[in-house]
Each structure stands twice: as C-alpha cells, then as structure tokens.
Amino acid sequence: MKRAAYILLILLIVIGTGSFLYFYNGGNLFKKLIRGKAIQEGVIEYDVTYPKVDPNSMMVSGLPSKAFLRFKNNNMVNDMSGMMGLISITYISDQTNKKVAQTLTLINKKYVSDISEEEMKKMNDSFLSSIEHGKNTQEIAGFKCKEAIVTLQNGETTHVYYTNDIGITNPNWSNPYTKIDGVLMDFQMERYGLAMHLKAKSVFSQTIDDTAFNIPEDHKKIPFAELEKILQELNPAAN
C-alpha cells in the first residue's frame, strides 16, 4: 500500500513538473527545452493584419484575422477564411511532386485551380525585388528567428523573420520568399491589391492527416486566371 502511494506521489510530481514547464510563461520555457528537436509535423497559427487598410473600417471586419499553415513530409497547406467562414481560401503545396493548387469556397460555390510553374513564377516575381540577410534576431511564438531585409517591387522595405527550428525543407519553394531557407514567422504578402502582414502566434506539434494535402474532389476545376479574376473582384479595395 505504501509503495503504491509512493509511486502515485512520484507520478504526481512528474506530471506537475511537466505541466509547470508547459504552462509557465505561456509555454515558452517548455519550448526552449525542446527547441533542439525540430518539429516535423504540425500547425502554425498566424495573426493577420492589413497595414494599408484603416483598422476601424467595415472592410477589415470581413477580412481574415487568422491564417493556418499545416505541414507534414515537406508538404504544406495554408488556409484562411473571412466573413464568418463564408469565404475561404487554401493554398496547397505538394513539394514531393512540385505541384501547387489553390481553392476558393465562396458561400455555396467551390473552385480549385492548378497553378503552373510559369504562373507561380510570374505571381511571385511581381512582389519582391531583393532580399538581404539581416543581423537581428527575435523570439516569435517561442522560436528564435533570424532577420531578412526585403525590398518590394514598389520600392518599399520591410523586415521579415524566419526560423530554422521547424522541420520543413525548402519551405518557401512555392512563394515569393524562395531565397529564404527557413519557415516564415513574421512577414508581409500582397495579393489582389491587398497587403497582409502575418505573424506567428503559436506552433503546435500534432498529427496531420495525409488527406489535408489532397485536392478536394467536390470543387469545380477552373483555370487559375479565372480564379484570380474572381478573387480580384472580391477585394473591396479594388471596387
């Protein structure tokens, strides 16, 4: 009986210590202890803001405030939604087969487009002019991040932060930041005339089902140029 009580006490101490390490200071202490082991599979949650839009305008209320990146086996799917889920967009990057697709759910309409290498290059080259590695570091969502200084095609300069502590090989092969060998944690994107700033809020190591990277079969397949036109017309700033 005493031995059982002793074992129970040890378990409670171990569990209690683990809980303390995980929850203390928002889990940052726990993250620091496991940082040496890169996360190979999981989800990154980003806060999304719109630096060129009045934060008090009605337009912002319908735009996505969160974005999620799910990753596994060097494949990724980015998704974000707005207007209480009535509009959602996903960007599926299959690094194994070097294929990219984008989906759009617009209330009860569902579309999907394959993006060719030529279309992807044209889209990405239209955003950035140059990238230089900076000297600063910053801790974001518990991860040490390096700085890159980016010049946009319009001449604007912005600072980007990325980490090498998340296990995705060549994570930016299908986006404008191809020259950065690390997972983006604080960066800017611009699509359809709308500038977005994304900053990682949290990173979770969890099992991702392989079906997350499948092209949905219930979506109507349309040319990418047609999908781009629909999304451009949805941008309130363009109307």
Cα 31–chain centre separation = 19
pLDDT for position 9: 34
Alpha helices (H) in 107-219, listed in sequence order: 117-125
Q: Are residues 89 and 179 part of one domain?
A: yes
Question: 149 and 67 in one domain?
Answer: yes
Q: What is the pLDDT of residues 9-49, one digit of tens each?
A: 333 333 343 333 334 444 444 444 344 457 899 999 999 99
Same domain, 46 and 27: no
Residue of higher predicted confidence among 85 and 39: 39
Verify that 124 and 152 share a domain, yes or no: yes
**3-state secondary structure (DSSP) of residue 149:** strand
Query: Across all residues in the chain, what is the average pLDDT?
Result: 81
The answer on 79 and 123 residing in a single domain is yes
Checking if the pLDDT of 221 tops 60, the result is yes
pLDDT tens, position by position, 118-133:
898 888 888 888 999 9
Mean pLDDT of 109-119: 93
- How many domains does the chain contain in total? 2
Candidates 51, 94, 36, 57; CA nearest to 199 is 51
Alpha helices per DSSP H over the chain: 2-23, 28-34, 58-61, 117-125, 224-234
Domain harbouring 127, CATH code: 2.50.20
pTM: 0.80
Domain encompassing residue 28:
2-34
Residue 1 — very low, low, confident or very high, per pLDDT cuts 50/70/90? very low
Task: Taking residues 4-10, report their average pLDDT.
Answer: 35
Same domain, 13 and 50: no
Residue 53, pLDDT score: 82
Is pLDDT above 50 for 152? yes
Comparing 191 with 207, the larger pLDDT belongs to 207
E-only strand ranges, 84-156: 87-94, 99-106, 109-115, 128-140, 143-152
Do residue 19 and residue 104 come from a single domain? no
CB-hemisphere CA count at 13 Å for 221? 6
Q: Is the pLDDT of residue 235 over 70?
A: no
Same domain membership, residue 91 and residue 196 = yes
